[in-house]
Amino acid sequence: MNRVSSLSLWRERLFGTPFTGFLTLVMAFGIAWVAVPLIRWSLIDATWAGTTRADCAPGGACWVFIRARFGQFMYGLYPVDQRWRVDLAGILFLLGTLSVVFAPQRLRLRLGVAMLVLLPPLGIWLLSGGLSLRYIETREWGGLMLTLFISIYASLIAIPLGILFALGRQSELRVIRLISVVFIEFWRGVPIIAVIFLASLLLPLILPGGIGIDRLARAVIGLGFVIAAYMAEAVRGGLQALPKGQREAATALGLTYWKATGLIILPQALRISLPAMTNEFIALIKNTTLVLVVSILDLLGIAQASLADPNWVGMNMEAYAFSGAIYWLICFALSRWSRHLETLGRRQNH
Amino acid sequence: MNKALSFINDKRVRDWIYQIAAVAFLVGLTIFFVRNASENMVKAGIASGFGFLWRTSGIEVPFVLTGYTQSDNIFSLFWVGVANTMLVTVIGIVLATLLGFVIGIARLSSHWLTSAIAGAYIEFVRNIPLLFFVLFWYFGVIAALPAPRQSIGLFGVAFLNNRGLTIPLPDSVDNLRWAALIVLASWVAYGLISVWARRRKERTGQDAPLLAIGIGLILVIPALAIAWASLATRWDVPVLRGFNYRGGFAVIPEFVALLAALVTYTAGFIAEIVRGGIESVPKGQTEAAGALGLRPGRILSLVVIPQALRVMMPPLTNQYLNVLKNSSFGAAIAYPDVVSLFMGSALNNTGQAIEIIAMTLAVYLVIGLAVSGLMNWYNARIALVTR
Amino acid sequence: MTIRIFSTAAVLAAGISFAQAQQLAPSPTLDAVKARGNLECGVHLGLPGFSFANDKGEWSGIDVDYCKALAAAIFGDATKVKYTPTSVQQRWPILQSGQVDVLSRNSTITFSRNATLGLNFQGINFYEGQTFLVRKSANVKEAAGLDGASVCVAAGSTEEKNAADWFRERNLKVTITNFQKNDDAIAAYDAGRCDAYTAGVGALAGQRIKLKAPDEHVILTQPISNDPQGPVTRWGDERWQLIVRWVLNGTIAAEALGVTSKNVDEMKANSKSSEVRRLLGAEGGFGKMMGLNDDWMYNAIKQVGNYGESYERTVGMGSPLKLERGQNQLWIKGGLLFTPPFQ
């Protein structure tokens, strides 16, 4: 009974009038035209098992290539016997984030601060070594691990800076406001590809001779500054959404600027701007692909580098499809989460 | 002691101290960086200054709008890059807006499949790095087009192959310039006549034969002018000789690929803005307009779009700025934009990183800040209206 | 009491090192390399035959071999090198800013680079001549036959300008498309975007094996340019420049003197030639003069081999590139490769 009614509902939706019926047919042909060859190539005609290029059937995808290179796509050239460190760091970050998200309300802030203080140095120690762990240089890092590392650490720079400049932009002090506006508009105005280039070329030049900064650190700093400007705008949205009375009331209660900001304004503003900040984080993940202009091999960079292997020529489609799918999954999941936060926030407000 | 303390406790004094400290910090930092840079450069023996701009560039560019040749100086090369950046940005913005509106409205369609496809497109596009689009279109475009000998001819004057679209180029632009002037003049004339006609109608109630005048001034006269100019001009029509078509002007595949990537990518974002904008207009508005007897088309153009536009303008402007900045992705596929030509080729030939990066950033900042300032002004105006 | 002994020893030690310091010009680069425990070498992102990392991250190639020889000369251990892969754009800034000690990245020696970039070229380890990779089906025999063609090239390389100049001087018209990386340019050529890809003969041989069907492409034999390539250092630190230059000379001299990785022990012990003995540190104390051990070249040759061995293994007949020696033959055998004597 139920099934029949849902069936008729679908018929109504897709073939209700001659026009919608026509539209449905056109669209269906369009989908088939794109999807059928894609599915044939990626699934039906594809080769899954084997060890070399010769094992692959022509005409279909050669997923053998991905299997052979899977370790590199994930970890770059990170030594195989040390990869557990990357896994451990990833698990710790995941657990840390989840514990903050699911912690009871009253513990959440304290837990969040603790994680922010503990996890980043712990992650760097695990990944790069020292203190009884083997030292592994950043040039051996790569693949998905590097993409996530850059995204996370750049946002660790970007979020505090962004909050600071968002507050600065709303400040009553004219000079502070001017500095903040210039900072934000400068970094928002320039293309990221140029910033990464700038960071990698200029940072060593403007520091006193002899101080070297790691190549990867330079890219992270450059990206961090750009994203800080975008984060600042996201936070400003939250600040502007708060009624002016909030700060006035806090000041009337005798709270100083920083107390009022830290206890009253920011917690509310950040909750409002969290979806927008998540969207900036997604943009950041996508923009990490640009580090390949300074020969840092993130996921896309490793995919491209693997194409130069004479033993595996002609694997462009496989490499791009696989790495693209990973980017898509991560970004899609995050954007769903951001949308979930948004509806949650709207429901709380009403 | 007490007095000094109360002096510090004065809010205005404290504010000044904060601000002076901030400025002092910035100035100090700048001096520190500049001193280090000049010291490091002297120590490393790297040349500095803008004198390099007047050296001969020697760099061949496959896509030139400015009349540059490789024996011109590096400063001319810079302008070639700027012009190419502007070209792909402007065309990209127009096309992305069109495609974005189509997809955004399709997303709101009552037809389930249309809406679902638009939704799938948006979700697909928004969650993949732009670099993938650029590479996909580039190798896709090259693979889809035939080799020069199997070119697709368009009316025997333009030719499409994997080296680009070769179109005829006029030997001299004198006649075309006159034609453009005539077209412009007749359009202005039509505008003036229609204003005059409306005023007369308001005064006397008499109608003027606007339609006939309109067809004549908007279509017929410009068409005649262009036809005359094209026939009177000698055209350099491309001919197949050796490896490729010679003569004419070639639109390179890098341009097409970058444009396609920018348009398909940005359209996904614009579609969401359009959807959000239209959805932000309360349903009651549409219903009220309907109750007043307005037709659906007029409801859309008089009630929904103007209000939706107010919501859409700021994020739309942001997207336009993104197109400008994202045009730098052309560097990945050899599109000769300012990043690729100036920060790539010129930087390598001269090694003067600081000067070249500063000039390149300035290009984006000057264009971007102009648009951004406009947007903030608009934002402030809206804020006034709502409060 | 013990304190006094120690301080006397310290004064003595300081005196000895002072005496040494007076003999040797200070070399901050060598000191940094020794303190770090490894050499930092800038190489190409990935060019088979010159510098190429396999899927395990192990580097090989003729430019990489030079880095190994230098490390062996300094540390007695050819594995004490770390490689920084660089793109065409990055190579100079990375060297200028001190991130690498030496750049061994098939970089052409030119006047303006030498004069304006604050760089010195320390000799020639490969005579490259620019030419073109074309499809066999295009039926082109020489560069002049490319009139009207599209040419893919890496932006900012000498090849970009060379090709533009060469065709312009001959009133031939080619369209040059500049890519940011060699790999992008070769990929576009392979996809049919260009009729030709241009680079040096050696580089082309290395790039050709990356193509989908290497046999369908040929390398034009007639070069259009003269592109000598070799290791590059920053200005300043003359002693470091000396080391970089003479390790390269040493590998060439070893080939000329018939010293190979196989017979080096025997030659060191038994050779009657004074030059061989000086080269291998059996007499003369040459290594000490630069602040290295006297067995510097012995280690380099023992672990990496002489120039000829390295050539055959990386780009020559023992490699997939199968390049003839050509100009890279020793001067005594009719080539251009030359070293001043070890005297």
Q: Are A144 and A326 in contact (CB under 8 A)?
A: yes
- Per-window interface: B 2-41 vs A, CB < 8 A: 15, 18-19, 22-23, 26, 33-34, 36-37, 39-41
Give how far the C-alpha of residue A258 lies from the chain's centroid of Cα atoms, to the nearest Å: 30
Which of B131, B258, B365, B371 should be substituted to probe chain A, the one whose Cβ sees the most A Cβ atoms within 10 Å? B131
Neighbouring chains to C with at least 3 Cβ pairs closer than 8 Å: A, B
**Pairwise CA distance, residues A172 & A251, whole Å:** 14
Asked if C117's CB is within 8 angstroms of B334's CB, the reply is no
Q: Are B36 and A209 in contact (CB under 8 A)?
A: yes
Residue C264 and residue C123 in one domain: yes
Decide if C3 is inside a domain. no
Taking Cα atoms as reference points, which of A131, A278, A157, A293 lies closest to residue A217?
Answer: A157
**Pairwise CA distance, residues B38 & B139, whole Å:** 43
Q: Are C293 and C281 in contact (CB under 8 A)?
A: yes
Q: What is the dihedral of CA C191, C192, C195, C199, to 10 degrees?
A: -10
Strand pairing partners for A286?
Answer: none
Closest-CA residue of C relative to B164 is C193
**Pairwise CA distance, residues C214 & C135, whole Å:** 10
Q: Parallel, antiparallel, or unpaired for β B152-154 and B239-241?
A: unpaired
Helices (H), ranges, chain B: 2-9, 11-44, 74-107, 112-126, 130-144, 174-204, 210-214, 221-232, 253-280, 283-291, 296-298, 305-326, 338, 347-350, 353-386
Q: Distances from the Cα of A260 to the Cαs of A177, A243, A268, A274, C253, in angstroms?
A: 19, 14, 12, 20, 76
Amino acid found at B151: S
| Cβ-Cβ contacts under 8 Å, B62 against chain C | 150, 175-177
| Cβ-Cβ contacts under 8 Å, A287 against chain B | 129
Q: Are A89 and A74 in contact (CB under 8 A)?
A: no
Domain A61-78+136-349 class, CATH top level? mainly alpha
**pLDDT tens for each residue of B212-246:** 888 888 888 888 888 888 777 777 777 777 777 77
Q: How many domains does chain C have?
A: 2
| Cβ-Cβ contacts under 8 Å, A137 against chain C | 82
Q: What's residue C137's pLDDT?
A: 87
| Cβ-Cβ contacts under 8 Å, B253 against chain C | 193
Decide if C4 is inside a domain. no
Decide if C95 is inside a domain. yes
**Pairwise CA distance, residues B56 & B52, whole Å:** 9
Residue C164 and residue C252 in one domain: no
If you write DSSP's letter for every residue of B241-260 in order, what string do you get?
Answer: ETTEEESSEEE-HHHHHHHH
Q: Are A168 and A176 in contact (CB under 8 A)?
A: yes
Asked if B162's CB is within 8 angstroms of C118's CB, the reply is no
Strand pairing partners for C197?
Answer: C133, C152
Taking Cα atoms as reference points, which of C85, C92, C136 lies closest to residue C110?
Answer: C92
Q: What's residue B3's pLDDT?
A: 54
In chain B, where the domains are located: 11-44, 74-171+234-386, 172-233
Backbone dihedral angles phi then psi of residue A227, each to the nearest 5 degrees = -65, -30
Which of B348, B352, B357 should be substituted to probe chain C, the one whose Cβ sees the most C Cβ atoms within 10 Å? B348
**Pairwise CA distance, residues B129 & A329, whole Å:** 12
Q: Are A235 and A269 in contact (CB under 8 A)?
A: yes
Indicate the pTM of the whole model. Answer: 0.82
CATH number (domain holding residue C293): 3.40.190.10
Asked if A189's CB is within 8 angstroms of B369's CB, the reply is yes
Amino acid found at B301: S
Superfamily of domain B74-171+234-386: MetI-like (1.10.3720.10)
Backbone dihedral angles phi then psi of residue C218, each to the nearest 5 degrees = -125, 155
The DSSP H or E segment spanning C106 is: none
The DSSP H or E segment spanning A68 is: helix A63-75
Which two structure tokens, joined as six digits, stand for B232? 């009177």
Angle of CA points A330, A234, A110, to nearest 5°? 75
Which of A8, A12, A206, A280 should be substituted to probe chain B, the one whose Cβ sees the most B Cβ atoms within 10 Å? A206
3-state secondary structure of C117: coil
Q: What's residue C233's pLDDT?
A: 94
Asked if C55's CB is within 8 angstroms of A308's CB, the reply is no
Place of tokens 């390295």: C310
Decide if C262 is inside a domain. yes
Place of tokens 């333009």: B158
For the question of an ipTM over 0.90, the answer is: no
Taking Cα atoms as reference points, which of B267, B361, B262, B280 lies closest to residue B316?
Answer: B267
Asked if A197's CB is within 8 angstroms of B343's CB, the reply is yes
Longest dimension (CA), chain B: 93
Residue C108 and residue C93 in one domain: yes
Average pLDDT, chain B: 83
Q: What's residue B1's pLDDT?
A: 47
| Cβ-Cβ contacts under 8 Å, B36 against chain A | 205-209
Residue C300 and residue C278 in one domain: yes
Q: Residue C180 sits in which domain range?
A: 130-225
Q: Is residue B58's pLDDT more than 90?
A: no
Asked if A307's CB is within 8 angstroms of C98's CB, the reply is no
Closest-CA residue of C relative to A80 is C56
In chain A, where the domains are located: 2-44, 61-78+136-349
Closest-CA residue of A relative to B324 is A191
Which of B127, B348, B359 should be substituted to probe chain A, the one whose Cβ sees the most A Cβ atoms within 10 Å? B127
Can you list the residues of chain A whose pLDDT is less than 50?
A: 1
Can you list the residues of chain C whose pLDDT is less than 70?
A: 1-23, 156
Q: Parallel, antiparallel, or unpaired for β C150-154 and C196-200?
A: parallel
Q: Is residue B319's pLDDT more than 70?
A: yes
Partner-chain residue, chosen from C45, C48, C99, that has the shortest CB–CB distance to A204:
C99
Which two structure tokens, joined as six digits, stand for A169? 């932009």
Number of CB atoms found within 10 A of residue B21's CB: 11
**Pairwise CA distance, residues B133 & B269, whole Å:** 14
Last residue of a domain, one of C181, C207, C225: C225
